[in-house]
Amino acid sequence: MKETTKSSLAIEGKNVEVNGVFPRIAKLRSEHHEYVEAPESALREIASLKPKADIFTFLQPIAQEGSSSTYLSRPEDIAVLTIDTYENWWTKQVNDKTRNMVRKAGKKGATIQIVPFNDDLAKGIHAIYNESPLIQGKPSKHYGKDLATLTKAHATFLDQSLFIGAFYNGALIGFLKMILHRNQRSASIMQIISLVAHRDKAPTNALLAKAVEVCAERRIRYLQYGIWSRRTLGEFKKHHGFKLMTIPRYYVPLNLRGRAALALRFHRRLSEFVPGGWQDVFANLRAKWYLFKYRANAI
């Protein structure tokens, strides 16, 4: 059984969520886009929060070399592109097919540019998310939301965010939101999505190429694109130069329940105990079920 608490919990000024029943695990709500800066002081803060958590888990920053803590840890597999120059990425880290897809956007009349987060962008994002209830074979969490709700959801980290838009005949057909990590030479992609109706223009490929160009100009060394997975955009990430990077995920018990849960390995996700082949079977069945369930609205 899983239960999530999403209240105004915070440490180091960052929002925290508490998941689960036994154990109750606390973590940064936007981990992968922000990190715990001082674990020892963060632990003192987390211990005073209510509802109480049994375990606190946090990730080591991408750009940090080696292990920085003696806490119990497990490897977290993430997709990371190491950036030197844009030319190096273009000529050595991607293949001819990917380069042709990026060129395709321009040939088809699409333009890619950095854009401010304003009402016009929010309306374009709203239209993109309401095109289909499914994204990558799974229900879209933003489908059907009203404009105000969707605007609020994308107005996070604005002082660290960079938005890139793909346009065709003046209309937004895709966008990318990138978070620039504080005091680090790294960034992460928080959102990237394009209209299925305009996939012939390869806007998603062009958005990603622009993100790499921006990172190279700003001397950002690492660009993260979610977790490393064979199923979730795995081939797309690899074709654009992203590779597996393993960083430590730390687990710290906050009470006796937490120590018992760690000893019993209850902090691990159920999916970690399922062989990879069976995970693929279940994922394919789930995708077929969602396609059947949403067939009237899915594109």
Q: In this predicted structure, what is the pLDDT of residue 239? A: 94
Q: In this predicted structure, what is the pLDDT of residue 268? A: 79
Under 8 Å CB-to-CB from 89, ≥6 apart: which residues?
81, 83, 212, 216, 241
Q: Kindly report the CATH number that applies to the domain delimited by 80-244.
A: 3.40.630.30
Q: In this predicted structure, what is the pLDDT of residue 7? A: 47
Q: Is the peptide bond before 23 cis (omega within 30 degrees of 0)?
A: yes
DSSP structure string for 70-105? -SEEEEEEEEEEE-S-HHHIIIIIS-HHHHHHHHHH
Is 24 within 8 Å of 18 (Cβ atoms)? yes
Where the chain has pLDDT below 70, the residues are: 1-8, 66-68, 137, 230-232, 270-299
**Domain edges within the chain:** 4-75+248-293, 80-244
User: CA-to-CA distance for 242 and 194, rounded, in angstroms?
Assistant: 20
* Count, residues in the chain: 299
pTM for this model (two decimals):
0.88
Q: In this predicted structure, what is the pLDDT of residue 182? A: 85
Q: In this predicted structure, what is the pLDDT of residue 237? A: 95
Q: In this predicted structure, what is the pLDDT of residue 289? A: 64
- Please write the tens of the pLDDT for every residue from 78-119: 999 999 999 999 999 999 999 999 999 999 999 999 999 999
Q: In this predicted structure, what is the pLDDT of residue 288? A: 64
In 3D space, the residue among 33, 17, 9 whose CA is nearest the CA of residue 182 turns out to be 33
